[in-house]
Amino acid sequence: MDQALPPTRWTIFLDTFFKASVIDQYLPSILKGIVVTLEVAALVVICGILLGLTLALVRAYRIRAVNILIVILVDMLRALPPLVIILVVYFGLPNVGIALSNFAVLWLILTLVLAAFAEEIFWAGITATPKGQWEAARSTGLGFTQTLLFVVMPQALRITIPPLTNRTIAITKNTALGTVIGVPEILNQATTATSFAGNATPLMMGAVAYMVIFIPVVTFGRWLETRFAWRRA
């Protein structure tokens, strides 16, 4: 009897994106993809922010040659699309004898790109801290490094949190670029499954997976912003 009914647009839609049998079949591989995405994302966020913070702190010492290097590196990483760097490194470097795994390339490039943006954000926070804060601290005998760590950075970090959260989310979503070099993350699992199944349901599962991962991150970012917003003197 069912077969006799002509398919409506609605049932076609459901069949295309939410087919139960396909969901059943490919849920395990999407879950594997989630694990890989989370692994890469966590490593990128931790390493990228720490490296960016380190670069900004080094830049605060205003050693001319070092700062020129930092600015060049950071500007290049911010100017180039991450996909281009990933392809060049993954397919180009083996020709000169440097072969990195696809996982390593994805982690390395996204870390460097996040570090570049994070460095600029931290640096903006450092320069936004009023000169009087430096002067007050130095006038009590605190050294440059002590002033940077105990007086300037705590203030700089607070104003840094909103832009840093946004940028971190944006870069972390780029873990999906791993699909072009075969990193078995969410999108890679979903496209593979889609071509096997001949059905778009796995792609929809991938989209849902990204939502499951990133909506808590976005919410956490908003919480951080309110948590660290404090009235200025």
Q: Does residue 64 belong to the site contacting another protein (CB under 8 A)?
A: no
Q: Does residue 151 belong to the site contacting another protein (CB under 8 A)?
A: yes
By CB atoms closer than 10 A (0-12, 13-18, 19+), residue 17 is middle
Question: In this structure, are residues 209 and 38 in contact, taking their beta carbons and an 8 Å threshold?
Answer: no
Residue of 137, 177, 181, 187 that binds another protein (CB under 8 A)? 137
Query: How far is residue 221's CA from residue 6's CA, in Å, rounded to a whole number?
Result: 48
Q: Which stretch binds another protein (CB under 8 A): 30-38, 70-78, 162-170, 225-233?
A: 225-233
Residue of 13, 150, 196, 223 that binds another protein (CB under 8 A)? 150
Query: How far is residue 51's CA from residue 77's CA, in Å, rounded to a whole number?
Result: 13
Phi, psi of 231 (to 5 degrees): -65, 130
| CB-nearer residue toward another protein: 40 or 151 | 151
Question: In this structure, are residues 129 and 60 in contact, taking their beta carbons and an 8 Å threshold?
Answer: no
Q: Which stretch binds another protein (CB under 8 A): 132-140, 168-176, 192-200, 206-214?
A: 132-140
Residue of 135, 215, 216, 222 that binds another protein (CB under 8 A)? 135
| Nearest distance from C-beta of residue 160 to another protein, angstroms | 13
Count, residues near another protein per rule CB under 8 A: 22
| Nearest distance from C-beta of residue 76 to another protein, angstroms | 34
| Nearest distance from C-beta of residue 139 to another protein, angstroms | 4
Q: Which stretch binds another protein (CB under 8 A): 18-26, 62-70, 135-143, 163-171?
A: 135-143
Q: Pick left, alpha or beta for residue 202 (phi over 0 → left; psi -120 to 50 → alpha; otherwise beta).
A: alpha
| Token couple for 162 | 């909103």
Question: In this structure, are residues 84 and 107 in contact, taking their beta carbons and an 8 Å threshold?
Answer: no
- 67: enclosing H helix or E strand: helix 64-79
The contact set with another protein (CB under 8 A) reads: 130, 132-133, 135-143, 146, 150-151, 154-155, 158, 230-233
